[in-house]
Amino acid sequence: MSKLMIALLMTAGLALTGCAAQREAPMAAKATPPAPITKEAYDSAVRNAEAQYKTDKDACSSRSGNAKDICLAEANGKEKVAKANAEAAYKATPKAREDARVARAEATHSPRKNATILRAMPRTCALRKQTPRWSRPRPTRRSTG
């Protein structure tokens, strides 16, 4: 047999055994939402988030310029995420969990944080909004006549 034929048969055999193994695997039980936390635990988590924010903010005061802006944006994002996580654990509703996911995404991809990072980057073609070389119109040839 040729090497190609052997490779095809091996691939088909592995695919079939994988499908059979998956069919025999037990179905996963439906995930239950986590139990809600108490009001005292929620208040403690919020106080801890605020204290951590103050600590992070004080740590940012030693920096200056763009580094300070980035540091403050990260500290603010951490506080919002911690508070949203505490609220999601306290309320234990799908809406609260969704709000916590949104807070994490906003903290990670904050426009303010990204803008300060972009200001720190060296000026390049993309930041100066120049059109790329390949999209510029071609110069017309003049006929010598």
Predicted local confidence at residue 35, as pLDDT? 78
pLDDT tens digits for range 17-40: 665 555 555 555 555 666 788 999
Q: Quick one: pLDDT at residue 5?
A: 73
The least confident of 61-70, 88-97, 105-114 is 105-114
pLDDT given for residue 1 in this prediction:
64
- Band (pLDDT 50/70/90 cuts) for residue 51 is very high
**Residue 104 clears pLDDT 80, i.e. is over it:** yes
First to last CA, the chain: 69
Mean pLDDT value across the chain: 77
Which pair of tokens denotes residue 107? Answer: 């903290």
How much is the pTM?
Answer: 0.57
Taking residues 46-52, report their average pLDDT: 96
* pLDDT of 54 over the 80 cut: yes
